[in-house]
Structures are given as C-alpha cells and as structure tokens.
Amino acid sequence: MFIRVFKGLGVPKQIAEHYEKRSTKKENLKHAFLRGVIDPTDKILSGYVFLTGMDHCEEIQDKVFITRSPCLKPDDARMVRVMRTKPHKMSFKDWQWLKSIPFGSIIFGLPEKGMKSLPEYIADGDLDGDRYLVCWSNDMLKYIDGIPIEEMPSDESSAIISRTNTEWLKDAQRQMVDSFESIQITNQLTGKLYHLTHKIADESKKNIYDPDVTHFADAFKQALDNLKHGGNIILPTHLHQRVPAKLRKLLVPLSRTKVESYP
C-alpha cells in the first residue's frame, strides 16, 4: 500500500521497489512507524513535527514524508516540516527535555486557534494511539510531489457524510441488531472496495490521482465506518457496476458531476 503511494506521488518504480526489497531485508531502513502524540510544551510551531530520538540523524532535512493506514489517495500522505532547532518561544529546559525523549514518537505542533490540526490532514488521522509512517530517505523524497497542506478552519470537515449525535446513536443501535449476514456482506464490500482502489490506480495512467481512485478510497473508509455505526456508502453510479451485484444494496449513488480532481 505505501509503496504504491510512493510511486503514485512521483517516486520512480525502480527506486521505490528497490527500497521495498531493501526494507524487507531490514537493510539500512530510513522509515519507521511512530506513535503520534500532542505537543506537551505548547511551543512546537504550528504545522511542524518533532521526531523523538532522531536529533542526530543527519539525513533528515526540512521535511519528512508522513502518512498512516489506510493510505489510498494522494492527500492521505503529506510532506511535513520538521522542527530541528529550538523555537524562539521555547525554553532551553523544554528543548533539552524533548531531545531526551527516546526514539518512537512523532510530536505534532498544535494548530493556530480555530484551525484544523495537522494529523487531520494526514489520512484523517488523530492522536488517540495512531501510528504514522515517517520516511526520511532522501533517495525517495526528492521525487515526491505531494499535495500541499492548505490550512482550513476546524469547522470545515472533509468528511463525506456528517451525522448529528442523535443520528449516530440510531445508526449504532441499528447496527447492533443487524444480522450476521448483513455484517458479512459489509465485510465483503469493504474488502472489494479496498481491492478496487488499488486495481484502478494500477490500471490508470493517472495512478492514485485518478478521480475514481478517490471515490473508491472514500467509499472504503465509509465501509469501515459502516461496520461500527451502520449507514450507507456513497459511490458514483457509474462505478456501481464494478461492485458485485449482491453487495450493491449498501451503495448510495453520487452524481458524476461531483467527481473530485487534483491539480
């Protein structure tokens, strides 16, 4: 999944697959899955991250590649600025303490008041235990042409479906009494949508930038949510035929005029 995104964002196939093969053998790894945590000092700059235990890694430059699973669309992965020197407003004591924390965490700077937090831009992440893939291999990063982060107010959600608390409770109650067969179908649909997301990316000249990849990726994430809370899954009508007939009853049409595109 991650190698596919690397290639989709511009890393040449040969270089991406060589890195994958090297990683399988655990040779000269330049990535890690780090636990995402909030800034306890409140002094890390907004839009920046601090990587614990990585102070002496000379290969880390101004930015690193960050994503999390599931990573299916171009904007599920981001190039994010790394804090390498002490911010002006941070005390020397806090800076030394941050540098003393062992390897294994990625600390996200707090957003400006009223703005979306940085993890929300990374595959709709949060800080409730998520692990983030962080890559600092310059051999890979020099090719990546990622989607820039454009700061948005926190009340502007990127979610396709929004529900009130009351609606969410009703959905959850319905889901708890659903038959085993219904849950089985949802599981099958989730797997199918995940497979189709990758299949279309591999077939398309636009790779993960193909609008249909975005639609299937969004539908896949909705299907995961469906397993917890119930609800329908939005997918443009012209893509329904790619889904087995017995699974289509969970799909809700979306007008083709709403197809997303990336610059």
Q: What residues of the chain score a pLDDT lower than 70? A: 155-181, 229-230, 255-263
- pLDDT value for 262: 56
Pairing of strands 131-135, 63-67: antiparallel
Q: Which of 165, 88, 76 is nearest to 121 (CA)?
A: 76
- pLDDT value for 53: 97
With contact defined as beta carbons under 8 Å apart, do 130 and 245 qualify?
A: no
Residue 87: CA atoms inside 13 Å, Cβ hemisphere, count?
Answer: 17
* Average pLDDT score, the chain: 87
- pLDDT value for 182: 74
Say how far apart CA 177 and CA 132 lie, in whole Å.
Answer: 34
**Crossing angle of the two packed helices 165-176 and 211-229, in degrees rounded to 10:** 70
Say how far apart CA 193 and CA 195 lie, in whole Å.
Answer: 5
The DSSP element (H or E) to which 64 belongs, if any, is: strand 63-67
Say how far apart CA 219 and CA 257 lie, in whole Å.
Answer: 17
CB 56: neighbour CB atoms within 10 A? 7
pLDDT in tens, 126-166: 999 999 999 999 999 999 977 888 888 986 444 333 334 45
Say how far apart CA 183 and CA 120 lie, in whole Å.
Answer: 28
Q: Which residue has the tokens 């005029």?
A: 257
Helix (H, G, I), strand (E, B) or coil at 151: coil
- pLDDT value for 261: 57
pTM flag (> 0.85): no
Say how far apart CA 225 and CA 227 lie, in whole Å.
Answer: 5
CATH number belonging to domain 2-141: 2.40.40.20
With contact defined as beta carbons under 8 Å apart, do 212 and 239 qualify?
A: yes
- pLDDT value for 170: 56
- pLDDT value for 160: 31
